[in-house]
Amino acid sequence: MAALMLALATGQAGAEPLARIEGVSDQALARALAEAVGEAGPRAENGADAPWRARARAREAADIIQRYLDSQGYYGAVIDPRVDDAGRALVRVRPGQRFVFDAIQVSWLTPPDQAEPPEAAAQNLALEPGAPVIASDVIAARARVIAGLHAEGFVEAREASHDIIVDHATQSARADFRFETGPFMRFGPPQFAGGLADLRPGFIARLAPYEIGEPASRAQLNEYSRRLHALQSVSVADVRMAPDEEDGLWPVDVRADPTPRHRIEGALRWSTSEGAGAEAVWTRRNVFRGDETLSAGVQAAELRQGVITRLTLPHWRRYAQDLTLGAELLAERTDAFDQDVLRLSATVSRLIAERLTLTGGVRAQTARVTDVTGTRSATTLALPAGAIWDGRDSLLDPQRGVYLDLGATPGWSFGGRETRYVRLEGGARYFFPVSDTVVLAARARAGSIVGTSPEALPPDERFYAGGGGSVRGYAYQSLSPERLNPQTGRGEIFGGRSLSEVSFEARWRRSERLGFAAFIDGGAARDDTAPDFSGMRFGAGLGVRYYPGFGPLRLDIATPLNRRSGDDPVQIYISIGQAF
């Protein structure tokens, strides 16, 4: 650190301005001129050409000062480049009075038989007589007028020209801005072309962010393009106003190219605690010509085997509201329970703000369950509801942002045992970039089940801790409450009514393809309904990340910090995507 400070100090001490500036009493202006002029390059050795170099630097600095003062309205400035008695570049400046506008005129160039924009359109200029003649303000004012026209029906508007006439006698300026408005347009019905022939016209029309008859807006055209591009069955989309008017309305040309209808994906994962797993998913896009997506996947893992299907209906009944129907037939084999289950679900999710999504649905399942209490049949009906705030900049590899989720699931289980309960769960993730290559990530999660005992709960509704998605370094589900098995006389994992978990991770992207991570996880599940962060066990480790282009491939090696008898000293995890 001392060496760095010394280097910075040395660099600052050795820096020399391109030229010294004299004569500016306004300190803010003097600082701005010095910043604009900047520093000189490496100093030349003293020699016969030293005076010539100093004069050249003074002239170069004078040109920079002239351009800057003109941009700030000092049109009467006197600038004198010279060489001082020490042979260094010097520029003497007398800025003079800053010029101001004394008259501002806005003119519209409209097509034949077209009315001019309303008087409010000119007010977007936001330049008043008496305002200083600053170039950046003039540029911003012109852009505001164009943006306002684009938002109020003149989507083809552009600037024609502008004149600023300076009067040195009065130290003032007169401005004349001219704009070509193009025709005034109102949104008409959409006209479909390209790949959109495979989508229902009514579905595409539902995505429009405007009502027919509203003044056309370039921002709404861009939003329409964005919504179309976000569809699973569309690869490229373009929306623009048609060239011809029909009954006072301008149709909207909607064009898009389709994506392939079928997709096949696969995934592999392995860990010392959870074993190996593989998954293959077949996806069919645009099933009913409304961008519906049908997926069927097969899972083959030591913990879970079976078939999972999903049918997603995007923008169901309204924009940004999705309906997902699911069916699962699974055999689950864990240390806590064995279960053969048929599960059906229907979930509606609705985006109510830019990053806020609300969800609600129904889930029904029937299962044959074996755990430490014996074997039984259980049928469960649940009504999950939740809210998600997703402020991350990426799904697979977030670099910054916050992710929050809250959920409440009332449930009713009957069969071998009948019980009613409410499962509550919430989590938070935070990602902070320390530099271009280092990201700090943190995660916390808590859950509670109220209304019943752990023994009466369906086993897949209880909370478990430990393993690759929970606390790395410990075996899967091993940080969970146990029950005595009457047949073996040994304690076996059972699950609890509360959960508490935290994780901290530092991620270093060493190169485009390679990265590393250091992490510490903590967590525990308990019999009580209240989460207890003080009773957690912790694991720590290091990881390697390989970036093939779609997201990181992850390898983590972790060890338990609160090792118990029977805990392995090391656990290894291989998967796709970051740990959280």
pLDDT band at 485 (very low <50, low <70, confident <90, very high): confident
Per DSSP, helices labelled H in 425-541 are none
Write down the pLDDT at residue 4.
34
Mean pLDDT of 379-408: 95
Q: Assign residue 87 a region (left: φ > 0; alpha: ψ between -120 and 50; beta: otherwise).
A: left
Write down the pLDDT at residue 49.
67
Q: What is the pLDDT of residues 37-95, one digit of tens each?
A: 998 876 544 555 678 888 999 999 999 999 999 999 999 999 999 998 888 999 999 99
Q: Which parts of 286-395 are beta strand (E)?
A: 293-301, 304-313, 321-333, 338-351, 356-371, 374-382, 385-390
Cα 273 from Cα 501, distance rounded (Å): 18
Sign of CA dihedral 129, 131, 134, 136: negative
How many residues are listed for the chain in this entry?
A: 580
Write down the pLDDT at residue 13.
43
pLDDT band at 112 (very low <50, low <70, confident <90, very high): confident
- Are the C-beta atoms of residues 201 and 190 closer than 8 Å to each other? yes
pLDDT band at 7 (very low <50, low <70, confident <90, very high): very low
Write down the pLDDT at residue 47.
57
Write down the pLDDT at residue 383.
98
Token match 């942002």: residue?
401
Enter the tokens of residue 444. Answer: 């916390």
pLDDT above 70 covers a percentage of the chain that reads 95
Half-sphere exposure in the Cβ direction for 12 (13 Å, CA): 6
Write down the pLDDT at residue 114.
83
**Which segment of 155-164, 284-293, 325-334, 483-492 scores lowest on mean pLDDT?**
483-492
Write down the pLDDT at residue 194.
62
- Are the C-beta atoms of residues 75 and 166 closer than 8 Å to each other? yes
Torsion (CA) 207, 209, 213, 219 in degrees, nearest 10: -130
**Which segment of 186-195, 283-292, 365-374, 404-413 scores lowest on mean pLDDT?**
186-195
List of domains in the chain: 17-41+48-94 (3.10.20), 100-180 (3.10.20.310), 187-258 (3.10.20.310), 262-576 (2.40.160.50)
Cα 168 from Cα 174, distance rounded (Å): 12
Global pTM reads 0.79
